[in-house]
Amino acid sequence: MTCAELRERIVDSASASQGGHAPVVAHLEGCAACRAAAREYGALDRLVRPALPPSPPADFEGRLRLRLSVGSRHPVSSAWLLGGAVAVLALAALLAPRFLRTRPKPGPPAPVEPAAALVPAAATAPAPEAPPPDIVAVRSTPISFQTVPLSAEEKAEAVGLHDFDFLNSFRTLARLDAFFPEPVGPRAPVPVPAGGFPSRPPDTPDAIAGRFLDWQRAARTERIRLSGLEKSLRDRPEEERSLLEERWALVRDFSDDQRAGLRRLASRMDELDSRAHDRLESEIRLIGRLPKEQRVARWRALPFAKPLTGQEFASAERLLFSR
């Protein structure tokens, strides 16, 4: 038995015993290289098996049905697939009231309407003679349930996008390297937290329902812009995307004003010539490694920091102290 024959036998338990173990054992006794190979094959087997079997997201079936309902190009696009997708979306619609806050009305409280009364309004157009539905507020922006419902294709597009605030910010985050912990190496991966990054596309019924409402009220140009940003994000290498998503976790609680400050800060850094930029980046990285109590004085002493506006200054400080 040659080494190649032995290795081809021991990689499959069924064939390992064919013809008896004796030739295998005899070869292994006399061949140190194959003994080492056999040991390492076993170690590799254990290495590639995760400790806990990974599972797909909980809404996997809903996403599959949505996808099947969108893909009318294939032969099995029958009503039951659409029915399944509608069931998933109906679940999302049922959950939607969690996101909705009825606009407070002056005067005595109106009698409580059953929640179910809202659902048909979302799913079907009201009868012509019916009174117009209440205007409701979603995240402070008034919308009406009379908005044209999203098509399955629009829904599929909407659920594939990352967090909108993240999409609006990732390019800025990419330009502020100096303010974030240095990656271990140019291609070192960022550990993905359990459950994924907070900027990930919606993957729970609640999040999907919220996304549909956001998408429904977004103008066409805004949808195109966000989809373009998503494409631009996905065109980046995976490790770079992870890095940006990790950075986003640090700034997602920043106020709008502070995020605007970050954009201006990035623009100011872009205006520097490459030598000054590199020097500044080194100085900021150095400050980032200092104990927090020493960072303030060092940061404020930087010539770059002196002409910053209050908004830029506050954003930079918060970023420096957020890690």
- Whether 136 and 143 have beta carbons less than 8 Å apart is answered as yes
Q: Which residue from 32, 47, 116, 148 is in contact with another protein, where contact means CB under 8 A?
A: 47
Q: What's the burial of 111, exposed, middle or buried (CB within 10 Å: 0-12/13-18/19+)?
A: exposed
DSSP 183: P
Q: Which is nearer to another protein, 200 or 277 (CB)?
A: 200
259 belongs to the binding site for another protein (CB under 8 A): no
Q: Which residue from 19, 29, 44, 146 is in contact with another protein, where contact means CB under 8 A?
A: 44
64 belongs to the binding site for another protein (CB under 8 A): yes
Which helix (H) or strand (E) segment is 122 a member of?
A: helix 118-123
84 belongs to the binding site for another protein (CB under 8 A): yes
Q: Which residue from 22, 32, 33, 48 is in contact with another protein, where contact means CB under 8 A?
A: 48
User: Residue 102 — φ and ψ, nearest 5°?
Assistant: -65, 135
Q: What's the burial of 187, exposed, middle or buried (CB within 10 Å: 0-12/13-18/19+)?
A: exposed
Distance, CA of 155 to CA of 319 (rounded, Å): 35
In the range 6-25, which residues lie near another protein by CB under 8 A?
7-16, 24
Q: Which of 246, 243, 163, 169 is nearest to 199 (CA)?
A: 163
Strand order in the sheet with 141-143: 101-102, 136-138, 141-143
Q: What is the nearest approach in angstroms of another protein to the Cβ of residue 61?
A: 5
29 belongs to the binding site for another protein (CB under 8 A): no
Q: What is the nearest approach in angstroms of another protein to the Cβ of residue 67?
A: 6
Q: Which is nearer to another protein, 65 or 318 (CB)?
A: 65
Distance, CA of 223 to CA of 249 (rounded, Å): 24
33 belongs to the binding site for another protein (CB under 8 A): no
Half-sphere exposure of 13 (CA within 13 A, CB side): 2
Q: Which is nearer to another protein, 47 or 112 (CB)?
A: 47
Q: Which residue from 23, 56, 120, 126 is in contact with another protein, where contact means CB under 8 A?
A: 56
Which residues would be at the binding site for another protein (CB under 8 A)?
4, 7-16, 24, 28, 37-51, 53-57, 60-61, 63-65, 67-68, 71, 74-76, 78-81, 83-84, 184-185, 187-192, 196, 200-201, 238-239, 242
